[in-house]
């Protein structure tokens, strides 16, 4: 998305907040633990390249993404930090990863064997994934670990640089299943240590695990949602063990304001009818921007005051009910602070029955991201 935009609807990304959140996390971690800044899905919708640069400057030492495409985007923008792909990449493309010094995740013997038929000149770095209870990807049993390690030893041009697992319930106050996964990880690690003596990096924690069990995090943490200033869950938020600053705000401007008498209807289906004389404002944002129809009835902030979305949200426009007349061009806050009030990502998420992670991912690329950064230098 270019820096020039003509429609007055934009997201503001506060990179100083990203840096602040990394520093808060660093203070909790033991000094031997480093940070993977997780910037998959275009940096959870915040902009992968910009967030990656800010995170590295603020003290993260590596990056993690979900797809090879995402890793390549970072490399092509000139970022030289280590990059780990967390998802599965077809062995056919391992060569591309090796050429760009991108670390891949593996957990299948057949996958390693496939590599033999794809010759590549540079060594491919690999992290092995262990499924200790997430049930998604990774090896689960001792036998799988043994056969994977022996396949690894007979595969040329690869270098094991890490092992990791992922927790399913680290964000829950009830830690029983978290500890069960930790136990399984420990058991696999004992087996592994008998088979392998070269140094490798170990990482197990996402944001929730890293915040709640900071001292148990081995060499790296995989820091995603909390880096963006969002709490991994209500439980983690209530524990108040870390202070996070949100980094994503969403703004628009009134493009039309009118006074309607009683009994006039608004938008498709004429589902909203004015109760009396009402000031109605129109915003240039709609469901094609990820501002989905389910947000009908949600508040926005005008001049620090809450005003409801009325009538159905259209593809490109949304109507709100104003408390009085405002000039065209008045700034409207859909996510973020205005005056003394704030609409948090969590409030939007609760309103549409989902988690905060989904909201910035859902705000489409049609909405330009504008970056705010005072404390750091960003090229």
Active site residues: 40, 268
- CB under 6 A: which stretch of 140-148, 201-209, 233-241, 328-336 binds ligand PLP? 201-209
CA distances from 187 to 145, 303, 339 (A): 11, 57, 53
Judged by beta carbon, residue 273 or residue 361, the one nearer ligand PLP is 361
Q: Which residues of the chain form beta strands (DSSP E)?
A: 9-14, 34-38, 62-65, 83-85, 102-106, 124-130, 158-165, 201-205, 220-223, 248-253, 256-260, 265-266, 272-273, 278-283, 299-302, 305-308, 318-322, 331-338, 341-343, 369-372
Does residue 207 belong to the site contacting ligand PLP (CB under 6 A)? yes
Instruction: Specify which residues 166 forms β-bridges with.
Output: none
Judged by beta carbon, residue 232 or residue 336, the one nearer ligand PLP is 232
CB 184 within 8 A of CB 138: no
Please state, in angstroms and rounded to a whole number, the distance separating the CA atoms of residues 138 and 247.
32
Question: Binding string to ligand PLP for residues 132 to 171, with x set by CB under 6 A, is what?
Answer: ----------------------------------x-----
**Of all residues in this chain, which one has the CB nearest to ligand PLP in the complex?**
224
CB 55 within 8 A of CB 20: no
Does residue 318 belong to the site contacting ligand PLP (CB under 6 A)? no
Does residue 206 belong to the site contacting ligand PLP (CB under 6 A)? yes
Shortest CB 327 distance to ligand PLP, Å: 40
Does residue 39 belong to the site contacting ligand PLP (CB under 6 A)? no
Sign of CA dihedral 127, 68, 181, 236: positive
Shortest CB 220 distance to ligand PLP, Å: 10
Does residue 104 belong to the site contacting ligand PLP (CB under 6 A)? no
CB 185 within 8 A of CB 132: yes
What letters, b where the CB count within 10 A reaches 16 and e where it falls short, cover 148-157?
bbebbeebeb
Shortest CB 165 distance to ligand PLP, Å: 9
Known binding-site positions for substrate: 136, 315
Nearest to 160 by CA among 127, 129, 111, 116: 127
CB 29 within 8 A of CB 216: no
- CB under 6 A: which stretch of 67-75, 202-210, 270-278, 344-352 binds ligand PLP? 202-210
Residues 164-183 binding ligand PLP (CB under 6 A) are: 166
User: Hey, what are 308's tokens?
Assistant: 């409801």
Does residue 38 belong to the site contacting ligand PLP (CB under 6 A)? yes
Shortest CB 26 distance to ligand PLP, Å: 15
Shortest CB 338 distance to ligand PLP, Å: 27
Judged by beta carbon, residue 128 or residue 208, the one nearer ligand PLP is 208
- CB under 6 A: which stretch of 181-189, 204-212, 292-300, 347-355 binds ligand PLP? 204-212
Residues 219-238 binding ligand PLP (CB under 6 A) are: 222-225, 232
CB 257 within 8 A of CB 328: yes
Judged by beta carbon, residue 72 or residue 86, the one nearer ligand PLP is 86
Interface with ligand PLP (CB under 6 A), residue total: 12
> What DSSP letter does each residue of 155-168 carry, written as one string?
-TTEEEEEEEE--S
Judged by beta carbon, residue 225 or residue 283, the one nearer ligand PLP is 225
Residue 228, Cα to own-chain centre: how many angstroms?
Answer: 7
Does residue 52 belong to the site contacting ligand PLP (CB under 6 A)? no
CB 220 within 8 A of CB 127: no
Does residue 86 belong to the site contacting ligand PLP (CB under 6 A)? yes
Shortest CB 341 distance to ligand PLP, Å: 27
Shortest CB 205 distance to ligand PLP, Å: 8
Binding site for ligand PLP (CB under 6 A): 38, 40, 86, 166, 206-208, 222-225, 232
């Amino acid at each position: 998305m270019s820096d020039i935009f003509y429609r007055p609807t934009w997201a503001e990304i506060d990179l100083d907040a990203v840096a602040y959140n990394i520093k808060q996390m660093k203070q909790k971690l033991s000094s031997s633990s480093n940070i993977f800044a997780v910037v998959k899905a275009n940096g959870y919708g915040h902009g992968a390249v910009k967030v990656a640069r800010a995170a590295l400057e603020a003290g993260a030492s590596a990056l993690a993404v979900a797809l090879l495409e995402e890793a390549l985007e970072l490399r092509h923008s000139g970022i030289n930090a280590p990059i780990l792909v967390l998802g599965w990449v077809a062995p056919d493309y391992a060569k591309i990863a090796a050429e760009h010094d991108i670390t891949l995740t593996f957990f299948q013997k057949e996958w390693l064997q496939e590599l033999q038929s794809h010759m590549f000149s540079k060594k491919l770095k690999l992290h092995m994934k262990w499924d200790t209870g997430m049930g998604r990807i990774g090896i689960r049993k001792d036998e799988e670990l043994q056969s994977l390690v022996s396949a690894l030893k007979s595969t040329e041009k690869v270098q094991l640089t890490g092992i990791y697992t992922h927790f399913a319930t680290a964000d829950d106050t009830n830690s029983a299943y978290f500890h069960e996964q930790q136990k399984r990880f420990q058991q696999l690690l004992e087996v592994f240590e008998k088979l392998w003596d070269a140094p490798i990096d170990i990482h197990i924690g996402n944001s929730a695990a890293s915040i709640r069990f900071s001292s148990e995090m081995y060499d790296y943490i995989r820091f995603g949602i909390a880096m963006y200033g969002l709490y991994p869950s209500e439980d983690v938020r209530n524990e108040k063990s870390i202070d996070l600053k949100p980094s994503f705000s969403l703004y628009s401007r009134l493009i039309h304001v009118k006074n309607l008498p009683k009994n006039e209807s608004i938008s498709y289906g004429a589902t909203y009818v004015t109760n009396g004389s009402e000031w109605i404002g129109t915003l240039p944002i709609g469901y094609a921007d990820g501002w989905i129809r389910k947000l009908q009835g949600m508040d926005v902030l005008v001049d620090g005051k809450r005003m409801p979305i009325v009538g159905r949200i259209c593809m490109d426009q949304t109507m709100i009910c104003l408390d009085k007349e405002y000039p065209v061009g008045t700034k409207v806050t859909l996510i973020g602070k205005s005056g003394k009030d704030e609409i948090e990502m969590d409030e939007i998420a609760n309103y549409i029955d989902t988690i905060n992670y989904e909201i910035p991912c859902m705000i489409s690329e049609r909405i330009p991201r504008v970056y705010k950064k005072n404390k750091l230098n960003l090229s």
